[in-house]
Amino acid sequence: MIVILIGYMASGKSTLGRILAKKLDYGFLDLDDYIEEKENSTISDIFKSKGEIHFRKLETHYLKELLSSKSKLVLSLGGGTPCYSNNMDIILKANNVKSIYLKASIPTLIARLKNEKSKRPLIAHIETDDLLAEFIGKHLFERSQFYSLAHVTITTDNKPENNIIEEVVLQLF
Ligand code: S3P
């Protein structure tokens, strides 16, 4: 099985993905890290030098590559991956793939992203906390329609990591 973690930026996909992989004795990959390694460039540099559309094409390409070549894998996607091209359709139709939406509330995401903007090209330029809050609110609203297609949705606010992992595991088997 491939377990795919989806959710907005800073929803905990990579942190929880690593813990989940250990618990299941699966491999772990973060799609952004995989793209950076394969392209020998950071996500920020890909956005800067080749633009977002190019980055979205890479995301779809490497998502397909991983889905067709791996098993026993926990794969954390980028926040935008489910929302572009036919990526969510590919995920839902793939054999032996289970997608989990890690759903965090807007205030939680704002609090985390305030301090973690710099590596994220979509929000790095937003100057004030108010503008960041406005951006996240609108953006999450647009993206929720894709995220909520996941096989399973798990709310994560105010839950210890271990409890979230337990909930995920219960949904998988
Ligand atoms: C993006 C999220 C990022 C990364 C890129 C675009 C998005 O991943 O893929 O900066 O569109 O939400 P994280 O969700 O891991 O921050």
Give the integer Cα–Cα distance in Å for 70 and 40: 21
3 state SS of 66? helix
Question: Which 8-state DSSP code applies to residue 79?
Answer: T
Ligand 1 pocket, residue 31 CB under 6 Å? no
Among 98, 105, 106, 86, residue whose Cα is nearest residue 146: 86
Ligand 1 pocket, residue 30 CB under 6 Å? no
pLDDT of residue 139: 98
Residue with structure tokens 């994560």? 156
The pLDDT tens digits along the chain (173 residues) read: 999 999 999 999 999 999 999 999 999 999 999 999 999 999 999 999 999 999 999 999 999 999 998 789 999 999 999 999 999 999 999 999 999 999 999 999 999 999 999 889 999 999 999 999 999 999 999 999 999 999 999 999 999 999 999 999 999 98
pTM value surpassing 0.95: yes
28 CA from centroid of ligand 1 (Å):
17
pLDDT of residue 173: 87
pLDDT of residue 99: 98
110 CA from centroid of ligand 1 (Å):
15
DSSP 30-49: EHHHHHHHHHTS-HHHHHHH
Structure tokens, 59:
């995301």
